[in-house]
Homo-oligomer: A and B are copies of this chain.
Amino acid sequence: MTVNLDEDAFGRHMVDRVCVGDMSTRAADLFPDRVALVCGEQSLTYSELDRRANRLGSALLGLGLKHQDVVGVMAGNCLEILITYLACAKAGLICAPANLGLRPSEIAYCFQDSAAKVLIVQDQLLAAAKELVPSLSELQGVYWTGARAPEALPRDAGSFDALLEQGDDAELQVPVFDRDAVQLLYTSGTTALPKGVLTSHLAVTMAGLSGALAHQADHNTRALVVLPLFHCAMLNSMTVPMFTVGARVILAPGFDTPENMLALIEKHQANVIMFLPMMYGQLLDVAAHGNHDLTSVTRAVYAMAPMPDERLRALHELFPNADVVLGSGQTEFTPATCMQRPEHQWSKAATWGTATAMTRVAIMDDHGRLLPRGEPGEIVYRGPQTMNGYLNQPDKTRESFQHGWFHSGDIAWMDEDGAIWFTDRKKDVIKTGGENVASIEVERCLMEHETVAEAAVVGLPHEHWGEAITAVVILKPGARADEERVLEHCRERLAGFKVPKAVLFTEEFPRTGTGKVQKHMIRSEHEAYYQPG
């Protein structure tokens, strides 16, 4: 796709466009010498960040890339991934940072699917990238960060810094449209191959404004970003909101040790932090031994899974000035759809929170009817943070948008305050003998048994039951596998139709790169379990 606008139309278009690349331009206007990004010993001011983004954007166009071509990225948290993101935005290209938790074959699939034209690779990942390159037919060039000597690569290659040198500092003059895609992130789907989520400039801009409001951020805010930027939450709910208000992002390459995390928070006087519940647990485990001043933290966000009150109390002691709130969402909604409001952090700590500023949340039945408060059904969303669609998957895209709402695939009910009480993944509802059973309920019951460390409950094809409830269980170290004892435990606690028909024992579950159990893999492994012969 090429874009041609006559000079008048182009000039007019530059005035009122929504472009993610304008974030750093605006921040550089207001805060040229303020630090935008810190990563270890490196840092960039807003004017340096914006200039580099312009440079790289013009260099990428200089390579011959066209409007909405894809630039693949293989990198952990580093300055270059964000420079590349802004550069693509300014140049009308699409930035596709690979999820490094995926298997190499899956990463190759993503870059094939998106016909990536250029790869930007962090130096330590260069060997892994070399393996992929032969399978990428559209690839024109590979550029790596750092100063390592180049290794032989099959196509045009060079260093990131040399590519930057080819570009120009001046603000890019390129038509970019509100609903052009700016990013392509693959969901690590629990049910199928990764799906490429195309997200627009408009959606990311809305996520930035809405996130800044949720975090009560202004230009004096400092956010600590530790989890990978190739996840939508870190990119769009943490980093982009900070760019929106000209605030500072402190990048860490990863959660190495909890001691280091506490030291980083203290050193940089971070205000906004986001970790997973288990990471907060690790922070608490070591905090007693340290002597850190953590009073700067005003907002500690955790994702997806609720935390028990006891841990919340401990976190409030650790971060005495912080609201500790759960945020939820999905890549298809850039991603924050719900966030606990401060006044709900105790009373509704078990919920997913309430709708974010630009998102509507509702509960829908299987026939497309919105349900009243209190009735469980599928969570559906509306709002301009919506993805454009799944790349190359028009059917799946259409399916997601049935009945004029985006379908989350999650089951929940909504209370009188609009707070979302999650009950299960929709696909995890097992239909057995005419009854619907939420697998999570059976899993909770199983995990109360003294021998069970983890449980995954799936429905397997069965002549009589349709789907037969089947428990797959990982035992605690030293525990003995005893199917009948486990079933007896369930019979005492669950309605008869919810009791598993069988208990299978295993050492490990198949998981996604981010650690989610892949139930579809479990299902296909055991598909024939109840089949005759």
Residues in A lying within 8 Å of B, measured CB to CB? 8, 10-12, 14-18, 22, 25-26, 29-30, 178, 202-203, 206, 209-210, 212-213, 216, 218-219, 244-245, 341, 354-355, 357-362, 381-386, 398, 401-406, 417-418
Contacts and interface: CB of A to CB of B under 8 A. Distances in A.
A8 to B, nearest CB: 7
Contacts of A22: 360, 382-383
A35 B346 CA distance: 25
25 contacts: A10-B404, A12-B401, A14-B405, A15-B383, A15-B401, A15-B404, A16-B382, A16-B386, A18-B384, A25-B360, A26-B358, A26-B360, A29-B355, A29-B362, A30-B355, A30-B417, A30-B418, A178-B202, A209-B210, A209-B357, A212-B213, A216-B218, A219-B341, A244-B357, A245-B357
Given A16-B203, A178-B202, 16 more contacts: A8-B398, A11-B402, A14-B404, A15-B383, A16-B384, A26-B360, A29-B362, A30-B354, A30-B417, A178-B178, A209-B209, A209-B210, A212-B357, A213-B213, A213-B218, A219-B341
Nearest to A401: B12
Closest 6 CB pairs of A and B: A16-B386, A11-B404, A209-B209, A14-B404, A30-B418, A18-B384
Contacts of A16: 203, 382-386
A51 to B, nearest CB: 16
Contacts of A398: 8
Contacts of A14: 382, 404-405
Contacts of A362: 29
A137 to B, nearest CB: 32
Nearest to A13: B404
Contacts of A355: 26, 29-30
B178 A15 contact: no
Given A15-B405, A357-B244, A213 B209 contact: yes
Contacts of A25: 360
| Of A8, A18, A406, most B-chain CB atoms within 10 Å | A18
A118 B216 CA distance: 41
Contacts of A358: 26, 209
Nearest to A343: B220
| Of A8, A25, A209, A417, most B-chain CB atoms within 10 Å | A209
Given A8-B398, A209-B209, A418-B29, A15 B361 contact: no
Nearest to A342: B218
B386 A15 contact: yes
A382 B244 contact: no
Given A216-B216, A401-B11, A417-B30, A18 B202 contact: yes
Contacts of A361: 29
